[in-house]
């Protein structure tokens, strides 16, 4: 059994398509990972997540360590058994969410001490504890523990933060390697930092490559800098990372973000947008996002998207989805989330096929013409 392998089948410009092979299954790239924050992809049964085309989902260390607790998940047989998903799971390190969600944070070289946003209880997250939690969860792709600073801070603050994250990456590598049987069947990804600065991004990429990882994430983007600044950074950041390893852009994004990032050499993504939007009444279509609460859908007997083969579009009308969302019925969130996840997976499948057939430029142009038309 292969622990971890990445085969690139075709490239088109900077865009690549391939397969990541792991013990729990293959991951077709470019890949979109639905976010399963608290051992659930909200409003979705796991068999329906799989039916949408997902090869891998993401779990959040920060949420799971606080509730139900990593040790409890381990006693219950691990995250796959607990949540009913037998394919690969990527877990984040908790670093990003401890910065954005918890209170009373104190960051030192050792790690981050913080108070839980649930009950105020005190916790420490360090590289070693993050690796232990991800091992207890039974993660397939483990992420290094890092600090994700706001991109609008002075360069020396960004530099110092990045340098500490690189020391934490070394400690993460060592702690992961000491994980025994788990280390023999899972993978570890490093995370590039350095905000929007090309030189800092290069230094970060070099430090990570020296340590050596199975894959490399681009962190510190999609934190409010805007699409233009993100794309400008993606002109150089992916190319600074090893070409033969998967590149994962964390926390991205909108459908047009995904197309633009694949165009610049990114292979993997995760984002709450399709699931969160599904609960808030926003549906994604090939002609752009649609607010199902809008009165113009009230008597529309057509499907949400004419081209979508998902269970929602096959059976239900825009009028019905409008009614469910206006009434606050939970089925509205379920049906729209399911459509959105199918839409994202169809977009990824479309990009994979276009890259394989050497027509990605045309695919991206057609996508933007329809999706961004107003």
Q: For 251, phi and psi rounded to 5 degrees?
A: 80, 20
Q: Is the dihedral of CA 13, 20, 131, 65 positive or negative?
A: positive
Let me know if 92 is a catalytic residue: yes
* Contact footprint for Zn ion (CB under 5 A): 308, 310, 312-313, 339
Q: In the complex with Zn ion, which residue's Cβ is closer, 239 or 294?
A: 294
| Residue 299, both tokens | 């008597």
Q: In the complex with Zn ion, which residue's Cβ is closer, 108 or 314?
A: 314
Distance CA 117, CA 188 (A): 28
Measured from the CB of residue 94, what is the shortest distance to Zn ion in angstroms?
A: 33
Q: In the complex with Zn ion, which residue's Cβ is closer, 264 or 279?
A: 279
| Residue 139, both tokens | 């993660």
Let me know if 270 is a catalytic residue: yes
Q: In the complex with Zn ion, which residue's Cβ is closer, 218 or 310?
A: 310
Distance CA 86, CA 308 (A): 27
Q: For 221, phi and psi rounded to 5 degrees?
A: -115, 170
Measured from the CB of residue 51, what is the shortest distance to Zn ion in angstroms?
A: 12
Choose, from 214, 257, 270, 305, the residue flagged as catalytic. Answer: 270
Geometric angle at alpha carbon 194, from 188 and 196, rounded to 5°: 125
Measured from the CB of residue 305, what is the shortest distance to Zn ion in angstroms?
A: 5
Choose, from 55, 92, 140, 257, the residue flagged as catalytic. Answer: 92
User: In angstroms, how far apart are the furthest CA atoms of the chain?
Assistant: 60
217's torsion region: left (phi>0), alpha (psi -120 to 50) or beta?
Answer: beta
Measured from the CB of residue 296, what is the shortest distance to Zn ion in angstroms?
A: 18
Query: Catalytic residues, which ones?
Result: 92, 270
């Amino acid at each position: 059994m292969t622990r971890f392998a990445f085969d690139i089948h075709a490239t088109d410009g900077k865009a690549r398509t391939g397969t990541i092979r792991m013990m729990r299954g293959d991951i077709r790239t470019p890949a979109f990972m639905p976010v399963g924050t608290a051992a659930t992809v909200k409003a979705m049964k796991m068999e329906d997540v799989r039916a949408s085309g997902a090869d891998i989902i993401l779990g959040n260390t920060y949420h799971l360590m606080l509730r139900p607790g990593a040790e409890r998940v381990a006693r219950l047989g691990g995250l796959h058994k607990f949540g009913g998903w037998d394919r690969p799971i990527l877990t984040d390190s908790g670093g990003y969410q401890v910065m954005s969600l918890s209170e009373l944070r104190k960051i030192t070289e050792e790690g981050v001490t913080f108070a839980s946003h649930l009950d105020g209880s005190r916790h420490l997250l360090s590289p070693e504890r993050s690796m232990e939690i991800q091992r207890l969860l039974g993660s397939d792709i483990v992420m290094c523990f890092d600090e994700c600073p706001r991109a609008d801070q002075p360069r020396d603050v960004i530099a110092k933060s990045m340098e500490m994250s690189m020391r934490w990456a070394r400690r993460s590598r060592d702690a992961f390697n000491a994980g025994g049987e788990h280390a023999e069947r899972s993978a570890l990804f490093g995370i590039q930092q350095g905000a929007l600065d090309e030189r800092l991004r290069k230094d970060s990429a070099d430090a990570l490559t020296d340590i050596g990882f199975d894959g490399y994430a681009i962190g510190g983007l999609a934190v409010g800098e805007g699409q233009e600044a993100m794309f400008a950074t993606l002109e150089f950041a992916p190319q600074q990372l090893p070409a033969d390893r998967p590149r994962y852009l964390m926390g991205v994004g909108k459908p047009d973000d995904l197309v633009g990032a694949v165009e610049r050499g990114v292979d993997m993504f995760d984002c709450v947008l399709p699931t969160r939007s599904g609960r808030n009444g926003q549906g994604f279509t090939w002609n752009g996002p649609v607010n199902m609460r809008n009165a113009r859908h009230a008597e529309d007997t057509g499907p949400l998207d004419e081209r979508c083969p998902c269970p929602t579009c096959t059976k239900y009308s825009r009028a019905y989805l409008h009614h469910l969302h206006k009434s606050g019925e939970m089925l509205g969130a379920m049906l729209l989330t399911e459509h959105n996840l199918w839409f994202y997976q169809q977009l990824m499948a479309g990009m994979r096929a276009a890259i394989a057939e050497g027509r990605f430029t045309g695919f991206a142009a057609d996508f933007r013409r329809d999706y961004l038309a107003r």
